[in-house]
Copies of this chain bind each other. A is one copy, B any other.
Amino acid sequence: MRVNLNADLGESFGAWKMGSDEALMPLINSANIACGMHAGDPATMAQTVDTACRFGVSIGAHPSFQDLIGFGRRPIQMQPRDIELLVLYQIGALQAIASARGSRVTHVKPHGALNNMAHDDDAIARAIAKGIRLADPNLIFVANIGSAMVLAGRQSGLTVALEAYADRRYDANARLLSRQRADSVIDDADEAAESVVRMVESQAIFSVDGQRIASPIHSICVHGDSAHAITIARTVRTALEKRQIDLVTLPQLHLEGGDSP
């Protein structure tokens, strides 16, 4: 039994620092690296790639809407074709930097509002998948379980890694509970770890009202934006290791590719 732990990193920008990349990197297997549109700059990207390499963490692009002031968290209406090019631009920039540091980009996970919008919007999900495939058809598309991105990725011929969250709760339709709800987030580290182990061992997610929704669980997203988040990540990792669940990079999952497009 194996699973991947992924996290968003490299979200500093110029003089502004964000996240605890050094603390988080030893805990995860795959890093989603900001590419300059919501966070990240060439120097931060190179440094994050180097840190990832040092810890044997595989590298992914974390493309976003072009919105520094909103940190890519604000929904922005764009034409699918422009989203495809926006994603492609960001992957290309990271590919060049990763290659120069002796590494390479092996996955892509959309950031923030772009990810949220692509959860339900087929056209956006397809545009992202197309941008990924144009950058490199061997890239793994990390997609939320139950999202439109899963089908869009597969139909584009991409390998799709199904992702669940360590610290979020789901409804009966496999959707994340809205952050408006008091019970949307799992704050307790032990509870998060228990939830993750249960998901991985059951290959299913569980809704707050007790439903079991079967799904492969390829990757678990953890966060590193606070000391508490680091504690959750560490607790999750330790719990998985105790259960002899292998923690592997996304390429090491050896997932099968999607349909030939």
Within 8 Å CB of A41, what residues of B? 66, 69
Count of chain copies: 4
Name the residue in A16, A75, A82, A99 with the highest tally of chain B Cβ atoms < 10 Å from its Cβ: A16
Given A16-B16, A70-B14, A77-B75, also A97-B93 (CB < 8 A): no
Confirm or deny: A208 has a beta carbon within 8 angstroms of a beta carbon on chain B. no
Interface string of A159-185 (1 = CB under 8 A from B): 000000000000000000000000000
C-alpha gap A100/B87 in the complex (Å): 12
Name the residue in A36, A97, A100 with the highest tally of chain B Cβ atoms < 10 Å from its Cβ: A100
Whether the pair B14, A15 counts as a contact (CB closer than 8 A) is no
Whether the pair B97, A88 counts as a contact (CB closer than 8 A) is yes
Set B46, B89, B95: member contacting A85, Cβ < 8 A: B46
Whether the pair B68, A67 counts as a contact (CB closer than 8 A) is no
Within 8 Å CB of A70, what residues of B? 14, 76
A101 to chain B, nearest CB (A): 9
Confirm or deny: A74 has a beta carbon within 8 angstroms of a beta carbon on chain B. yes
A19 to chain B, nearest CB (A): 11
Set B46, B69, B75, B94: member contacting A66, Cβ < 8 A: B69
Whether the pair A96, B92 counts as a contact (CB closer than 8 A) is yes
C-alpha gap A39/B78 in the complex (Å): 19
Confirm or deny: A18 has a beta carbon within 8 angstroms of a beta carbon on chain B. yes
Given A96-B95, A96-B135, A97-B92, also A13-B85 (CB < 8 A): no
Within 8 Å CB of A99, what residues of B? 134
Interface string of A33-77 (1 = CB under 8 A from B): 000100101110110000000000000000000111111011111
Q: What are 17 A-B contacts with C-beta separation under 8 Å? A: A13-B16, A13-B69, A15-B71, A15-B73, A36-B89, A42-B82, A43-B81, A45-B89, A66-B69, A74-B78, A91-B96, A92-B92, A92-B93, A93-B96, A95-B95, A95-B96, A100-B134
Residues on A lying within 8 angstroms of B by beta carbon are: 12-18, 36, 39, 41-43, 45-46, 66-71, 73-78, 81-82, 85-86, 88-97, 99-100, 134-135
